[in-house]
Protein backbone atom coordinates (compact mmCIF):
# COMPACT_ATOMS: atom_id res chain seq x y z
CA UNK A 1 0.00 0.00 0.00
CA UNK A 2 1.38 3.40 -0.97
CA UNK A 3 0.31 6.62 0.71
CA UNK A 4 1.13 9.60 -1.50
CA UNK A 5 2.96 9.74 -4.78
CA UNK A 6 6.31 8.32 -3.65
CA UNK A 7 7.39 4.85 -2.59
CA UNK A 8 8.93 4.87 0.93
CA UNK A 9 12.71 4.69 1.05
CA UNK A 10 12.50 1.70 3.42
CA UNK A 11 9.20 -0.05 2.63
CA UNK A 12 9.80 -2.81 5.19
CA UNK A 13 10.17 -0.39 8.12
CA UNK A 14 7.43 0.22 10.66
CA UNK A 15 8.06 3.89 11.20
CA UNK A 16 11.70 4.07 12.30
CA UNK A 17 11.79 0.41 13.37
CA UNK A 18 13.12 -2.28 11.06
CA UNK A 19 11.57 -5.65 12.02
CA UNK A 20 14.57 -7.38 10.43
CA UNK A 21 17.54 -5.15 11.15
CA UNK A 22 20.67 -7.04 10.08
CA UNK A 23 23.14 -6.25 12.84
CA UNK A 24 26.30 -7.21 10.98
CA UNK A 25 25.53 -4.87 8.07
CA UNK A 26 24.95 -1.87 10.33
CA UNK A 27 28.14 -2.62 12.28
CA UNK A 28 30.24 -2.83 9.12
CA UNK A 29 28.74 0.42 7.87
CA UNK A 30 29.53 2.18 11.16
CA UNK A 31 33.08 0.82 11.16
CA UNK A 32 33.78 1.93 7.59
CA UNK A 33 32.59 5.47 8.28
CA UNK A 34 34.53 5.69 11.54
CA UNK A 35 37.59 4.32 9.75
CA UNK A 36 37.24 7.02 7.10
CA UNK A 37 37.36 9.73 9.79
CA UNK A 38 40.24 8.01 11.58
CA UNK A 39 42.37 7.81 8.45
CA UNK A 40 41.61 11.44 7.64
CA UNK A 41 42.71 12.55 11.11
CA UNK A 42 45.57 10.14 11.94
CA UNK A 43 46.46 8.91 8.42
CA UNK A 44 46.05 5.35 9.67
CA UNK A 45 43.42 3.14 11.27
CA UNK A 46 43.08 -0.30 12.87
CA UNK A 47 41.40 -3.20 11.12
CA UNK A 48 38.22 -5.02 12.11
CA UNK A 49 37.85 -8.62 13.27
CA UNK A 50 34.19 -9.62 13.34
CA UNK A 51 32.63 -12.80 14.68
CA UNK A 52 28.92 -13.68 14.69
CA UNK A 53 27.40 -16.39 16.87
CA UNK A 54 23.71 -17.15 16.45
CA UNK A 55 22.90 -19.54 19.28
CA UNK A 56 19.28 -19.88 18.15
CA UNK A 57 19.67 -20.43 14.41
CA UNK A 58 23.37 -20.98 13.65
CA UNK A 59 22.88 -20.97 9.87
CA UNK A 60 20.98 -17.67 9.75
CA UNK A 61 22.33 -14.10 9.91
CA UNK A 62 21.68 -12.19 13.12
CA UNK A 63 18.80 -9.76 12.87
CA UNK A 64 16.61 -8.04 15.43
CA UNK A 65 13.68 -5.65 15.52
CA UNK A 66 15.38 -2.33 16.16
CA UNK A 67 15.94 1.22 14.94
CA UNK A 68 18.86 0.99 12.45
CA UNK A 69 19.92 4.61 12.99
CA UNK A 70 20.19 4.02 16.74
CA UNK A 71 22.32 0.92 16.25
CA UNK A 72 24.51 2.76 13.77
CA UNK A 73 25.02 5.71 16.14
CA UNK A 74 25.98 3.47 19.06
CA UNK A 75 28.51 1.49 17.07
CA UNK A 76 29.89 4.55 15.27
CA UNK A 77 30.66 6.31 18.56
CA UNK A 78 32.23 3.22 20.11
CA UNK A 79 34.36 2.61 17.03
CA UNK A 80 35.61 6.19 17.02
CA UNK A 81 36.68 5.91 20.65
CA UNK A 82 38.39 2.56 20.10
CA UNK A 83 40.21 3.77 16.99
CA UNK A 84 41.45 6.91 18.68
CA UNK A 85 42.69 4.96 21.69
CA UNK A 86 44.36 2.32 19.52
CA UNK A 87 46.21 4.80 17.31
CA UNK A 88 47.32 7.11 20.11
CA UNK A 89 48.41 4.20 22.29
CA UNK A 90 50.52 2.82 19.45
CA UNK A 91 52.06 6.24 18.84
CA UNK A 92 53.03 6.50 22.50
CA UNK A 93 54.64 3.06 22.30
CA UNK A 94 56.42 3.92 19.01
CA UNK A 95 54.70 1.00 17.29
CA UNK A 96 52.25 2.76 14.99
CA UNK A 97 53.04 0.34 12.14
CA UNK A 98 51.44 -2.57 14.02
CA UNK A 99 48.03 -1.39 15.14
CA UNK A 100 46.06 -3.93 17.14
CA UNK A 101 42.75 -4.80 15.45
CA UNK A 102 39.39 -3.95 16.94
CA UNK A 103 37.46 -7.14 17.59
CA UNK A 104 33.67 -7.34 17.58
CA UNK A 105 31.63 -10.29 18.80
CA UNK A 106 27.90 -10.48 18.03
CA UNK A 107 26.04 -13.12 20.02
CA UNK A 108 22.31 -13.74 19.82
CA UNK A 109 20.76 -15.98 22.46
CA UNK A 110 17.19 -16.67 23.56
CA UNK A 111 16.83 -13.45 25.55
CA UNK A 112 19.72 -11.14 24.75
CA UNK A 113 21.58 -9.89 21.73
CA UNK A 114 25.03 -8.87 22.93
CA UNK A 115 27.67 -6.94 21.04
CA UNK A 116 31.17 -6.71 22.46
CA UNK A 117 33.76 -4.29 21.08
CA UNK A 118 37.29 -4.92 22.30
CA UNK A 119 40.40 -2.85 21.71
CA UNK A 120 43.95 -2.72 23.00
CA UNK A 121 44.15 1.03 23.20
CA UNK A 122 45.65 1.35 26.65
CA UNK A 123 42.44 1.32 28.67
CA UNK A 124 40.90 3.89 30.99
CA UNK A 125 42.13 4.51 34.55
CA UNK A 126 39.58 4.02 37.31
CA UNK A 127 39.82 7.68 38.25
CA UNK A 128 38.22 8.55 34.89
CA UNK A 129 35.99 5.51 34.40
CA UNK A 130 33.14 6.97 36.47
CA UNK A 131 33.07 10.12 34.32
CA UNK A 132 32.83 8.69 30.81
CA UNK A 133 29.02 8.78 30.75
CA UNK A 134 28.80 12.39 31.88
CA UNK A 135 27.59 14.84 29.29
CA UNK A 136 30.29 17.26 28.07
CA UNK A 137 33.08 15.15 29.59
CA UNK A 138 35.82 13.92 27.27
CA UNK A 139 39.41 12.79 27.60
CA UNK A 140 40.16 14.34 24.21
CA UNK A 141 41.04 18.02 23.76
CA UNK A 142 38.07 20.27 23.08
CA UNK A 143 37.84 20.51 19.27
CA UNK A 144 37.49 23.77 17.40
CA UNK A 145 33.91 24.42 16.29
CA UNK A 146 33.26 23.31 12.73
CA UNK A 147 31.71 26.74 12.07
CA UNK A 148 34.79 28.56 13.35
CA UNK A 149 36.68 30.43 10.64
CA UNK A 150 39.93 29.12 12.12
CA UNK A 151 38.92 25.50 11.57
CA UNK A 152 40.70 24.13 8.52
CA UNK A 153 41.83 20.67 9.63
CA UNK A 154 40.19 17.23 9.47
CA UNK A 155 37.03 16.39 11.36
CA UNK A 156 37.93 15.38 14.97
CA UNK A 157 37.01 11.93 16.24
CA UNK A 158 36.25 12.95 19.81
CA UNK A 159 36.12 15.82 22.25
CA UNK A 160 32.50 16.95 22.21
CA UNK A 161 31.50 14.91 25.27
CA UNK A 162 28.12 13.52 24.29
CA UNK A 163 28.88 10.40 22.21
CA UNK A 164 28.81 7.80 24.99
CA UNK A 165 25.94 9.29 27.06
CA UNK A 166 23.62 9.47 24.06
CA UNK A 167 24.71 6.01 22.89
CA UNK A 168 23.78 4.49 26.25
CA UNK A 169 20.49 6.38 26.14
CA UNK A 170 19.74 4.84 22.74
CA UNK A 171 20.68 1.38 24.01
CA UNK A 172 18.33 1.70 26.99
CA UNK A 173 15.46 3.00 24.89
CA UNK A 174 14.12 -0.50 24.16
CA UNK A 175 15.14 -2.16 27.44
CA UNK A 176 18.76 -2.65 26.45
CA UNK A 177 21.90 -1.28 28.05
CA UNK A 178 25.54 -0.41 27.49
CA UNK A 179 28.51 -1.01 29.78
CA UNK A 180 32.19 -0.12 29.56
CA UNK A 181 34.83 -2.29 31.23
CA UNK A 182 38.45 -1.27 30.99
CA UNK A 183 41.88 -2.45 32.09
CA UNK A 184 44.21 0.47 32.56
CA UNK A 185 47.35 -0.08 30.53
CA UNK A 186 45.81 -2.70 28.25
CA UNK A 187 42.46 -2.01 26.62
CA UNK A 188 38.71 -1.57 26.85
CA UNK A 189 35.66 -3.76 26.30
CA UNK A 190 32.32 -2.17 25.49
CA UNK A 191 29.19 -4.31 25.89
CA UNK A 192 25.93 -3.36 24.20
CA UNK A 193 22.82 -5.34 25.11
CA UNK A 194 19.57 -5.53 23.16
CA UNK A 195 16.41 -7.55 23.64
CA UNK A 196 16.43 -10.52 21.28
CA UNK A 197 12.68 -11.06 21.69
CA UNK A 198 10.55 -8.37 20.08
CA UNK A 199 7.86 -8.58 22.77
CA UNK A 200 10.41 -7.65 25.44
CA UNK A 201 11.80 -4.66 23.54
CA UNK A 202 9.12 -2.29 24.80
CA UNK A 203 9.66 1.43 24.51
CA UNK A 204 10.93 2.92 27.76
CA UNK A 205 9.41 6.29 28.56
CA UNK A 206 9.57 8.37 31.74
CA UNK A 207 6.41 8.59 33.82
CA UNK A 208 4.92 12.06 33.53
CA UNK A 209 1.84 12.47 35.69
CA UNK A 210 0.71 14.54 38.66
CA UNK A 211 2.14 12.12 41.23
CA UNK A 212 5.56 12.14 39.57
CA UNK A 213 5.50 15.94 39.29
CA UNK A 214 4.65 16.37 42.98
CA UNK A 215 7.31 13.83 43.96
CA UNK A 216 10.11 15.69 42.22
CA UNK A 217 8.95 19.22 43.05
CA UNK A 218 8.30 18.54 46.74
CA UNK A 219 11.62 16.84 47.48
CA UNK A 220 14.14 18.75 49.52
CA UNK A 221 17.64 17.68 48.67
CA UNK A 222 20.05 17.58 51.60
CA UNK A 223 23.81 17.63 51.34
CA UNK A 224 25.52 14.31 51.78
CA UNK A 225 26.86 13.93 55.32
CA UNK A 226 30.07 12.44 53.94
CA UNK A 227 30.87 15.74 52.24
CA UNK A 228 30.70 17.80 55.41
CA UNK A 229 34.01 19.27 56.50
Q: How confident is the model at residue 139 (pLDDT cuts 50, 70, 90)?
A: low
Beta strand 102-108 pairing with 112-119:
antiparallel
Fold category of 18-227 in CATH = Heat Shock Protein 90 (3.30.565)
pLDDT in tens, 35-92: 999 999 889 999 999 999 999 999 999 999 999 999 999 999 999 999 999 999 988 8
Under DSSP, the state recorded for 206 is -
Strands of 102-108's sheet in order across: 48-54, 102-108, 112-119, 187-195, 177-183
Annotation says 80 is catalytic: yes
Domain borders along the chain are 18-227
Catalytic residue among 57, 81, 88, 229: 81
**pTM value surpassing 0.85:** no
Active site residue 88: no
Active site residue 32: no
From the list 6, 10, 39, 73, the catalytic residue is 73
214 given a catalytic annotation: no
The pLDDT assigned to 210 comes to 75
Q: Which of 20, 33, 39, 77 is catalytic?
A: 77
Of these residues, 20, 80, 88, 93, which one is catalytic? 80
The model's pLDDT over 159-216, given as tens digits with 9 standing for 90+, comes to 455 789 999 999 998 889 999 999 999 999 999 999 998 777 776 666 666 776 676 6
Rounded Cα distance, 48 and 31, in Å: 8
Amino acid sequence: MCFGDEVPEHPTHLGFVDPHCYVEDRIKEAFENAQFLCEGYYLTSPSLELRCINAINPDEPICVAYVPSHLYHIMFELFKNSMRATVESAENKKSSNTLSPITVDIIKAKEDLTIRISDRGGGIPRSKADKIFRYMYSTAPRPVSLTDSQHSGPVPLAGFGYGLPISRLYARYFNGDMEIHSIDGYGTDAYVYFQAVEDQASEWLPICNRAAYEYYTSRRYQSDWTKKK
